[in-house]
Amino acid sequence: MRVEGSSETAAQPGALGSECVKRVLVTGASGFIGRHTLEPLLAAGAEVHAVSARDAPLDVPAGVRWHRADLLAHGAARELIRRLQPSHLLHLAWYARPGSNLTAGVNIDWVHASMRLLDAFGEAGGDRAVFAGSCAEYTWEPRTHCMEGATPTDPATLYGLAKHRLHTMAAELAPQMGVSLAWARIFFVYGPHEQHERLAAAVARALLRGEEVACSHGRQIRDFLYAPELGSALTALLRSDVTGPVNVASGAPVRVADLIDAIAAAAGRPELVRLGAKPAVRGEPDRLTAEVKRLREEVGWSSSVGLQEGAARTVGWWRRRL
Amino acid sequence: MRVEGSSETAAQPGALGSECVKRVLVTGASGFIGRHTLEPLLAAGAEVHAVSARDAPLDVPAGVRWHRADLLAHGAARELIRRLQPSHLLHLAWYARPGSNLTAGVNIDWVHASMRLLDAFGEAGGDRAVFAGSCAEYTWEPRTHCMEGATPTDPATLYGLAKHRLHTMAAELAPQMGVSLAWARIFFVYGPHEQHERLAAAVARALLRGEEVACSHGRQIRDFLYAPELGSALTALLRSDVTGPVNVASGAPVRVADLIDAIAAAAGRPELVRLGAKPAVRGEPDRLTAEVKRLREEVGWSSSVGLQEGAARTVGWWRRRL
């Protein structure tokens, strides 16, 4: 056990790994995905260190140790990791501003920052890492069922390309440094803490305010995962010894309109939804779904929160905050 | 002077820097641009170390020490630089395959590799670096006269974007590491050793074989620099203490057809040129020219080889090799 200082935690049932509690560093911890990982990691008995360029949100679970650092700054990752000596790393930090995240040049900076992070983690003796990849790494044919190792990686966006290049480089570096690396290909996610501009949040917030909401035709087929479930899936993946790309998704594809309808039903305002009032985004596939065999059989995790339940919880969360 | 071992060289007139001969590492030394820098660096009295993923070409000037390394491989740059302790670094290595160089994802890998290189150079106490940038970093409006610090950087290609992000990150890192960094924005280049698929080489080789050559309309205005001149311009820039972006170009814009005509005249086969037989590349500007005030006034270098002379020398070089 590589815990430094006096902050050791007694092993608990459900601890990370098989023998002992581990020290986990979560990057991007204040982000939409990151904040959903903190509870499951604590529940797994880990000593949880969170890093973000922002201050800790007010609702960070007790027990999480917050570190403020800009991982794009030279030396910041190395300094933090030397100090903390984490055994586990869950790397979620990235540029995520809705509207420009798929095309912004800073995606390239994050490739470099992420490689430095992995390098520092390996140098400090880290054992196990999970990095966030994306369904945007796969080819976006009109109908794509994404299967790790089989579906071509041919990204349509700079974001997807940057994640893909990072995966290629990181998968080569990790074993050289003795790091076991899994690459979580995350699909579509909705739930509490979502950026206001993104689909589910925008629909829920508009309907709760009694406003009409203009949507595309809604016939696109996608895999949506309820964000707190993503947090537990990533925790399960980190605790496993599965390496390489793993789709992290519900495995239950639905129409975009189904998600919108579920939110509208939970909000009690289906009459305010205007399907077809906006054009669909050009270049995005009609059908983009996830094969979740690796996640289910090798990692041993599967989704149990259905669309209606996830939508109801999401709307409830927004209702308390409007 | 940080020269290691027994290979010190006596200071000579024209040595790099003002006091003493320096040890220079040139990356991408086997490439089209790299090989034109070796003679001028030697002539400047430098101890010249060349690195490339390939073996030394047969015609490498005597005195150049050749190192084979793949700078994309983790640790390769650090190991080489620790061993050599160069005071100067001329970083030209990049992915340069004609046809795919503007769009290939490996451009992103080179950003990371270049940052690692700069980091290793700074850690080893390096003083002065010149990195190869590109006119592709600038916006490509239909008519763009590129001026450092004034013309927007809004790259139209992944290659341009990758160079631009590297510049941004490197310009931030270099002063933190005590490295003086100039960023050479290279425009259009022709001359000996050019890849066969590129314009001047393709035209010269076809005409010398007595074959027709299909060209676009040729009315695009560009800044062409004769490759051996680029080698001496980069050497002058490395020897200067100018930092930041510097256009490296002739300052004498011409029509693409002028270059083709000059090559055809030198080859004695103007009747084989078919201007307008091929469409122009979409998305490339009508006019893309370089302001060379910084190069001329701050670096003190200017072009003296005109298009006719450069074309004649280029054709002569190919004639001896067909």
Complex ipTM value: 0.87
Please report the pLDDT score of residue B254 as a whole number.
Answer: 98
| Tally of helices (H runs) and strands (E runs) in chain B | 9, 15
* B78 vs A237: CA distance, rounded Å: 33
Please give the structure tokens belonging to residue A281: 């985004």
Q: Do B74 and A176 touch (CB under 8 A)?
A: yes
Partners of residue A173 in chain B, C-beta under 8 Å = 74
State the residue for tokens 């430098």: B46
CA distance A35 to A276: 33
Residue A161 with chain B: CB contacts under 8 Å: 105, 108, 158
**Which chain A residue lies closest to B158 (C-alpha atoms)?**
A158
Q: Is A280 on the interface with B (CB under 8 A)?
A: no
Give the mutation candidate from B112, B117, B161, B165 for the A interface (greatest A CB count, under 10 A). Answer: B112
Confidence tier at A72 by pLDDT (50, 70, 90): very high
Res. A4 pLDDT band, cuts 50 70 90: very low
Residues of chain A with Cβ-Cβ distance to B162 below 8 Å are: 108
Q: How many CB pairs under 8 A join A and B?
A: 44
Which residues in B269-308 belong to E strands, given as ranges? Answer: 273-274, 287-290
B233 Cα to chain A: minimum distance (Å): 29
Tell how far CA B254 is from the center of its chain. Answer: 19
Contact B216, B281 (CB under 8 A): yes
Q: What percentage of chain B has pLDDT greater than the value 90?
A: 91
In this prediction, residue A16 has a pLDDT band, given cuts at 50, 70 and 90, of low
CB contact, 8 Å: A223 with chain B? no
Pull the structure tokens for residue A290: 């996830």
pTM for the structure as a whole: 0.90
CA–CA separation, B64 and B179 (whole Å): 24
Contact assignment for B115 to A111 by CB distance below 8 Å: no
Give pLDDT, residue A322. 86
**Cβ-based neighbours of A213, under 8 Å, separated by 6 or more:** A202, A203, A206, A207, A272, A273, A274
Residue of B nearest to A137 (CA): B105
Interface of A with B in 42-81 (CB under 8 A): 74
Are the CB atoms for B244 and B210 separated by under 8 Å? no
User: According to DSSP H, which parts of B270-306 are helical?
Assistant: 293
Contact A109 B169 (CB under 8 A): yes
Q: By three-state DSSP, how is residue B118 classified?
A: helix
Burial class (CB in 10 A: 0-12, 13-18, 19+), A272: middle
Mean pLDDT of B307-316: 98
Residue A5 has pLDDT above 90, yes or no: no
Check: CB of residue B121 under 8 Å from CB of residue B86. yes
Q: State the average pLDDT for chain B.
A: 93
* CA-based nearest residue in chain B for residue A154: B105
> Can you give A201-263 as a three-state secondary structure string?
HHHHHHHHCCCCEECCCCCCEECEEEHHHHHHHHHHHHHCCCCEEEEECCCCCEEHHHHHHHH
d(CA A28, CA A90): 9
Nearest CB to B111 within list A112, A155, A161: A112
Lowest mean pLDDT among A171-180, B68-77, B184-193, B280-289: B280-289
Taking 60 as the threshold, does the pLDDT of residue B20 lie above it?
no
For residue A292, what is the DSSP state?
Answer: -
The residue ranges of DSSP E strands in chain A, in sequence order, are 23-27, 47-52, 65-68, 88-91, 128-134, 143-146, 180-186, 188-190, 213-214, 221-222, 224-226, 244-248, 254-255, 273-274, 287-290
CB proximity list for A102: less than 8 A, separation 6 or greater: A136, A157, A158, A159, A160
**Residue in B with minimal Cα distance to A176:** B74
**A165:B115 CB<8 A:** no
Beta-strand ranges (E) seen in chain B are 23-27, 47-52, 65-68, 88-91, 128-134, 143-146, 180-186, 188-190, 213-214, 221-222, 224-226, 244-248, 254-255, 273-274, 287-290
Q: B156 at the A interface (CB within 8 A)? A: no
Q: In what order do the strands lie in the sheet with B287-290?
A: B143-146, B287-290, B221-222, B254-255
Beta bridge partners of B24: B48, B88
**Cβ–Cβ contacts within 10 Å for residue A1, how many?**
12
Residue B169 has its nearest CB partner, among A112, A155, A169, at: A112
Quick one: how far is CA A103 from the chain centroid?
A: 19
Residue range A281-300, pLDDT digits in tens: 888 899 999 999 999 999 99
The pLDDT assigned to B10 comes to 41
Average pLDDT, chain A: 93
In chain A, what residues touch B176 (CB-CB under 8 Å)?
Answer: 74
CA B161 vs CA A103, A104, A166, B42, B108: distances in Å: 11, 10, 17, 33, 9
Tokens of A273: 């939804």
Rounded average pLDDT over A74-92? 97
The reply to whether residue A161 touches residue B105, judged by beta carbons under 8 angstroms, is yes
Is the confidence at residue B302, as pLDDT, over 50? yes
pLDDT at B115 over 60: yes
- Most A CBs within 10 A among B108, B111, B157, B167, hence the mutation to make, goes to B108
Tokens 């700079």 map to which residue?
A158
Average pLDDT over residues B89-96: 98
pLDDT at residue number B16: 54
pLDDT per position as a tens digit, A260-270: 999 999 999 99
Check CB contact under 8 Å for A165 and B106.
yes
What is the pLDDT, as a whole number, of residue B12? Answer: 46
Mean pLDDT, rounded, for A71-89:
97
- Tell me what the mean pLDDT of segment B287-303 comes to: 98
- Residue A186: helix, strand or coil by DSSP? strand
The structure tokens listed for A25 are: 């560093």
Distance (Å, whole) CA A293 – CA A307: 20
- Residue in chain A closest to B175 (alpha carbons) equals A74
Average pLDDT, stretch A215-227? 97
Q: Do A108 and B108 touch (CB under 8 A)?
A: yes
Tell me what pLDDT residue A205 has: 98
